[in-house]
Chains A and B, each alone.
Chain A
Amino acid sequence: AQSVTQLGSHVSVSEGALVLLRCNYSSSVPPYLFWYVQYPNQGLQLLLKYTSAATLVKGINGFEAEFKKSETSFHLTKPSAHMSDAAEYFCAVMLSSNTGKLIFGQGTTLQVKP
């Protein structure tokens, strides 16, 4: 069965520092992979997705993620953190043959310090 594991439930960075949120997946077939963001008291919104095209995927708000099949990873990065990036981030996986069911990771809370 496919699954995702997010390493670190809480990440803290200083404003302007590199953001790195880790996600590893387990899937027996090439997966679709996603990052969603949840701001306080809101629903989730899509940051970016990998659907077997380019391995480096660019998303909204300056975030990007790289699909590495050899490492079964899909880590999320941003070169310079902004205070407004403070939120909870979820990695998710879906089989390409699926009807649309997403399996989410446990989530990582990003804190940005001034």
Chain B
Amino acid sequence: NAGVTQTPKFQVLKTGQSMTLQCAQDMNHEYMSWYRQDPGMGLRLIHYSVGAGITDQGEVPNGYNVSRSTTEDFPLRLLSAAPSQTSVYFCASSQSGRAKTGELFFGEGSRLTVL
């Protein structure tokens, strides 16, 4: 059982480039979300989804797009990367009932550097 898988683990971009961070889970979880982790700021929610075809914004959505075409996948797109988006990104998922009680399963993270 792979759990939550994120790719790539490391990425370096130049300002203005675009890229997609991939997230896949094999636990049939309905709830999926993306967080960014920055020193001294904890984790901040970017976008989340409560099921295929349904997405919503979190605390810091600007500069990011998401879509949810399948239950398994929840990619995060950076349309025009900026240095402020240098961060570690975490994907997390949960069964829909458990999502309301905070039992999230996290991937290992994707470290992004924007030059």
A residues engaging B (CB < 8 A)?
Answer: 6, 9, 32, 34, 41-46, 49, 51, 90, 92, 94, 96, 98-107
Contacts and interface: CB of A to CB of B under 8 A. Distances in A.
A99 B107 contact: no
A59 B25 CA distance: 25
Interface stretch (B41-49, B61-69, B75-83): B41-49
Give the 4 A-B residue pairs with the shortest CB-CB distance, closest first: A43-B106, A100-B99, A104-B42, A104-B43
B40 A100 contact: no
B108 A41 contact: yes
A32 B102 contact: yes
Contact of A49 (B43, B94, B103, B106): B103
Nearest to A34: B102
A109 B44 CA distance: 18
Nearest to A92: B102
B102 A102 contact: yes
A9 B40 contact: yes
A43 B108 contact: yes
Given A90-B43, A106-B42, A49 B101 contact: yes
B102 A43 contact: no
A101 B103 contact: no
A51 B41 contact: no
A92 B101 CA distance: 11
A42 B103 contact: no
